[in-house]
Amino acid sequence: MSSDTFLVGNGAGFSGDRVDAPIPVVRTLIKRGLPAALFFEVLGERTVALAQLERRANPELGYEPMLERLLAPVLADCFKHRIPILGNFGAANPPAAARCIARLALRLGLPNLRIAVVAGDDVMDSIALDQLPVHEADDSIDISRARLIAANAYIGAEPLVAALKAGADVVVAGRTSDPALAIAPLVHHFGWSLEDWEKLAIGATCGHLLECGSQVTGGVFWDPGRKDIPNPENIGFPIAEVTRDGGLVITKAEDTGGLVDLRTIKEQLLYELHDPSYYITPDVVLDITACTLEQVGVDRVAVRGLKGRPAPETLKVTASFEGSWLGEGEVSVAGPNALARAKATADVLHARLKLRGLPVRARVDLIGVASVHDSDDGALWRAYQGPEPSDIRIRLAAEGATRDDVDQAAREVLALLCCGTAGTGGARWRVTPRILTRSYLVLRERVPTSITTRTAAEIIQ
């Protein structure tokens, strides 16, 4: 391997990922002895809005809740071996995330750890949404009445590169595009131009393949007896080897489970892609229609033939609004005549909501007969002709404008403990607020970004 190879490791693919995953990744990066970076992607579409609600309740929260657990085992090693860490783990509160990391650094005896905070993605106060073209919307949003929770632009690699140039050991961002977290260290290391579309296409593909962590190394791939993987309890997270001229090989952390082969790469390459000739990121428009793959070793796949087009003039802004309320309740039936009891229970629940005149939209699932593949009217379980299931969970979901309405609906499930069919048990119910999102397009010059880089000691003093 030439010294012109850079390694990009991924330590998390979503908020909620396995917190011990980064350890073998960092161990492998160090063992390989090549220049490297580690990134964490923990922001789903609604995660920033949930984080913003946390921040409202407590100004020191609103960043990735597992941040300290994720970084504590690897921060000192990464600092020692000059492996920068990038992450959108700042969520709705990057400055507070930086303080969390600084406190951790001081505990680990790393007062000189340099932490960069990227600002600019939060456009809630700087951009009037009602003057922007709508990109994607939840149909049900009445924009004039909905209360805005958060509005964040998906920013590209540029400020992340600037942070690395400023010597940051950890780059704390809020909303970035996922691929930017991998593009930035490559651009910084190789000195690629931010207008070298072919190179940025390779960086974007690297980011796209790695951004969901284990999904490219066996996670949501393994299927017992059909697509088996070694040690699914310890799937190794992915590492990309990228060369200056744009070679890209996907592999994974050593001494772990999971696997990397043509099948895992293909599944992740197409994941959440629409037109394969036009995958839009803030840094480049990616075209994978000429992409070819080759297994070049055990758990090693080379990715070639990627094409890039100029970056779009606009950035996507996702805004989140307070939505309605969701009430859910569940009970179980099992044993003889379970299907008939479950179907009758479903009918009774619908009848009860009608009887009480609750203004909710409701659905009943018969889990064990048909649920996740079904429609709101239960078309699949009503038509079910298969063998009699012996254990069925009945689930009511009700959406309404007020907390009380959906709570009352969900409590109708609870009432079945006494009023339900023979042998009804195991009731659970809960009420949660819903968030609505809408995406807009904004000219990128309207989203200025900035970075602030300070040492852990400076942040905490």
Partner 1 sequence: MIEVPLYDIAHSRAGDKGNRANISLIPYNPALYPYLAEQVTEARVLALFAHRGATTCKRYDLPLLHAFNFVVDDVLEGGVNASLNLDGHGKTQSFRLLALTVQIPEALASTKT
Q: How far apart are CA 55 and CA 52, in angstroms?
A: 5
Q: Which position among 67, 172, 249, 435 is part of the footprint of partner 1 (CB under 8 A)? A: 435
**Which residues make beta-bridge pairs with 360?**
400
379 binds partner 1 (CB under 8 A): yes
Per residue in 210-224, is it b (16+ CB within 10 Å) or e — as a string? Answer: bbbbbbbbbbebbee
Question: What helix, strand, coil percent values describe the chain, rounded to 5?
Answer: 30, 30, 40
- What binding mask, one character per residue, do residues 25-54 give for partner 1 by CB under 8 A, x or -? --------------------xx--------
Is beta strand 85-87 parallel, antiparallel or unpaired with respect to 170-172? parallel
Nearer residue to partner 1 within complex by CB, 37 or 206: 206
Q: Which position among 253, 326, 431, 451 is part of the footprint of partner 1 (CB under 8 A)? A: 326
Binding segment (CB under 8 A) for partner 1, from list 105-113, 179-187, 288-296, 453-461 = 288-296
Which among 235, 239, 169 has a CA at the least distance from the CA of 6? 239
Q: Which position among 2, 224, 373, 445 is part of the footprint of partner 1 (CB under 8 A)? A: 373
What's the token pair of residue 218?
């066996």
Q: Which position among 108, 220, 344, 415 is part of the footprint of partner 1 (CB under 8 A)? A: 220
436 binds partner 1 (CB under 8 A): yes
Q: How far is the CB of 199 from partner 1 (least distance, A)?
A: 21
Which among 82, 158, 71 has a CA at the least distance from the CA of 114? 82
372 binds partner 1 (CB under 8 A): yes
CB 146 within 8 A of CB 322: yes
Nearer residue to partner 1 within complex by CB, 12 or 319: 319
206 binds partner 1 (CB under 8 A): no
Q: Which position among 58, 112, 126, 140 is part of the footprint of partner 1 (CB under 8 A)? A: 140
CB 23 within 8 A of CB 73: yes
Could you please report the per-residue DSSP string of 216-236? GTTTTT-BTTTB--S-GGGBP
Q: How far is the CB of 138 from partner 1 (least distance, A)?
A: 5
What's the token pair of residue 121?
């993605």
Binding segment (CB under 8 A) for partner 1, from list 55-63, 99-107, 146-154, 219-227 = 219-227
Residue 230, amino acid: P
Tell me if residue 23 falls in helix, strand or coil: helix
* Contact positions with partner 1 (CB under 8 A) in 163-202: none
362 binds partner 1 (CB under 8 A): yes
Please count the residues of this chain forming the interface with partner 1, following the rule CB under 8 A: 55
Nearer residue to partner 1 within complex by CB, 113 or 209: 209
What's the token pair of residue 421?
């069919």
275 binds partner 1 (CB under 8 A): yes
Q: How far is the CB of 380 from partner 1 (least distance, A)?
A: 7
Residue 70, amino acid: L
Q: How far apart are CA 48 and CA 35, in angstroms?
A: 31
* Contact positions with partner 1 (CB under 8 A) in 249-268: 263, 266-268
Neighbours of 329 (CB within 10 A): 26
Q: How far is the CB of 272 from partner 1 (least distance, A)?
A: 4
CB 417 within 8 A of CB 345: no
Nearer residue to partner 1 within complex by CB, 223 or 445: 223
211 binds partner 1 (CB under 8 A): no
366 binds partner 1 (CB under 8 A): no
Q: How far apart are CA 308 and CA 296, in angstroms?
A: 24
428 binds partner 1 (CB under 8 A): no
- Locate tokens 């003039």: which residue? 313
412 binds partner 1 (CB under 8 A): no
DSSP alpha helix (H) spans, 312-402:
338-356, 379-382
For 132, which DSSP code? S
291 binds partner 1 (CB under 8 A): yes
Residue ranges binding partner 1 (CB under 8 A): 45-46, 136-140, 220-221, 223, 226-227, 263, 266-277, 288-293, 305, 323, 326, 361-363, 365, 367, 371-376, 379-380, 395, 397-399, 434-437
